[in-house]
Structure 1
Amino acid sequence: MKLLIKVLNWGDRHHPMWLDFFRIALGLVLIWKGVSFALNLSAFTSLMMNAGLGTAVFISLIAHLIMGLHLIGGLFIAIGSHTRTFCLLNLPVLLGAVFFVNLSPNIFSPYAEFWLSCSVMLALLCFLIEGDGKLSVEHERKIA
């Protein structure tokens, strides 16, 4: 526990300004993926048509959870409020995307989603350690 507190305090003290712009970009990417996920629910609809009732309900809940985490988490990460919490909440979704969804034979194709998912997952891990930064709502609240 002491090691975790030390890591979090180190992240708060050593946070360069350019990393804040990277955090904002990460939040916008998560919002973009949440919107594109919501607009492409036909894949989940076809999965639910071929499944039983319990499985269909589970698939629907997972789809709504992913959309909500990406949209709300992306917004909060972009504005810099509760960044570590929403990074932690989005990590399981990205782990699932990296290891179960996007790991396919065409992984080295130029437009593979695998690389975007890996990059976003690494950025989430980075901001789980680094935290909000100076261009954030949390920093303004600490000053006031």
Structure 2
Amino acid sequence: METVKSLNKWANAHTYYSLDILRIIVGVFLFWKGVSFLTNTEYYNQLSEPIKNLGGGMLIVHYVVAAHMMGGIMIIVGLLTRWAIAAQLPILLGAFLVNFIGEMNVGNMILSFLLFVICVFFLFYGSGKHSADYYFKMQQ
């Protein structure tokens, strides 16, 4: 708990609008990807083909859509950002690995790796000073 508090203090002292914009862009992208998976089921089924035979394959499919949509909204507004990011990390790691199991798509592989790295950064950085987390903390 003390580590999170010290990370928040450091992040609030080193806050920049560009990082807030990056956080919002990541949230919008993840939300859009969740909506895209929900509306374009054939494309999503094609992407998730390598994991269909694994135990809990359908659970993974439903988790990805829900985590992207809800996590994206939470990341956009900066509400429980670290928890929302933590829910995205296994999905992004899986997206990276699916490119090795199934058909290799270099563009998707680079995008998933880049998003993974950005999310790891925000896992430590948090939501920053311009967020709902900071607002609610100041209201206490």
TM-score by length of 1: 0.78
Structure 2: gaps spanning 5 or more residues: none
Q: Distance in 2 between matches of 1:138 and 1:3?
A: 16
State which structure, 1 or 2, has the greater radius of gyration over its C-alpha atoms. 1
Which residue identity lines up with residue 73 of structure 1 in the other structure?
G
TM-score under structure 2 length normalisation: 0.80
2:93 equivalent to 1:92: no
Percent identity for Structure 1 against Structure 2: 34
Indicate how the Cα distance of structure 1 residues 116 and 16 shifts in structure 2: closer, same or farther if over 3 A, else same.
Answer: same
Aligned in 2, Cα 1:24/1:102: closer, same or farther, shift over 3 Å? same
Question: Residue 19 of structure 1: CA displacement?
Answer: 0.6
Q: Deviations over 1:34-82 (max 9, x none)?
A: 11122232253895xx86xx95xx2221110000110000000001000
> Is 115-124 or 78-87 further displaced after alignment?
115-124
Distance 1:4 1:142 in 2: 13
Letter in 1 for 2:115: V
Counterpart of 2:78 in structure 1 is: 80
The answer to whether the aligner puts 1:139 opposite 2:134 as a matched pair is: yes
* Residues 1:4 and 1:78: Cα distance change in structure 2 (over 3 Å): closer
Aligned residue number for residue 31 of structure 1: 31
Query: 2:16 maps to which residue?
Result: 16
User: For 2:90 and 2:114, how far apart are their aligned partners in 1?
Assistant: 14
Contact 2:85-2:123 within 8 A present in 1 as well: yes
Question: Aligned partners of 2:18 and 2:105: how far apart in 1?
Answer: 34
What is the CA–CA distance in structure 1 between the aligned matches of 2:105 and 2:62, rounded to whole Å?
Answer: 27
Matched, 1:41 2:41: yes
Structure 1 Cα separation of the partners of residues 80 and 3 of structure 2: 20
Match of 1:102 in 2: 99
For residues 66 and 39 of structure 1, the distance between their equivalents in structure 2, rounded to whole angstroms, comes to 13
Gap runs ≥5 in structure 1: none
Query: Equivalent residue for 2:118?
Result: 123
Residues in 2 aligned to 1:22 and 1:138: alpha-carbon distance in whole angstroms: 17
- What is the deviation of 1:9? 3.8
